Amino acid sequence: MKKLMYLLALTAIVAIFATGCSSADSQSKSDSGSEKTETTDVKKELLHTQMDFTADFSPNYAPIAAYQTAVADEESTDDVIKTTAEAAKKAADEGAAKLADYKLESNLPDEEKEAFTASLDSLKAYFEEVSKAIDASETEPNLDAAQTQFDTFQTDLEGIYKDAGLQVPDMAAALS
């Protein structure tokens, strides 16, 4: 009888131990699943934010890209350059003004949202530099300072996308 009691006690201990391990493993799997869901949610929200952002600022960036193309094309006439310069200057001024009051509408986590918002300062500076360069010379603008600001904007966004495990978009192409 004593052996039977020890055997029952040992069986109960093994059963309790097995149940505890199973519960811990289940909790670990559950935590891992929520982490994957959270990462997926950040990726989806980042892509959604990018789509909304590019839709908001494509009308401001596209005329500048067209102007740069016209200036680089040796066959462009002065009239074409002047017309595209006027459109680019207007778009740059409007883009800078829009960014001065821009509120990023996004459900990104606070850290990513703050980083994305901080990168917008460089884009605003880009628009301002484009406007200055066109004021200085419509037919032969020096857009080096503007390009430096755009490169900074692109670099700032790279960290956000890499941290989320996404391929970094070419924002010049996305905005064009």
Q: What is the pLDDT of residue 25?
A: 52
Predicted confidence (pLDDT) per residue in 1-10, tens digit = 444 444 444 4
Is residue 67 within 8 A of residue 85, CB to CB? The reply is: yes
Q: Cα(12)–Cα(62) distance, rounded to whole angstroms?
A: 73
Q: Write out pLDDT tens, residues 93-143.
A: 999 999 998 888 888 899 989 999 999 999 999 999 999 999 999 999 999
pLDDT at 20 over 90: no
Task: Give me the pLDDT at residue 106, please.
Answer: 87
pTM for the model stands at: 0.75
Tens digit of each residue's pLDDT (9 = 90 or more) over 37-73: 556 688 899 999 999 999 999 999 999 999 999 999 9
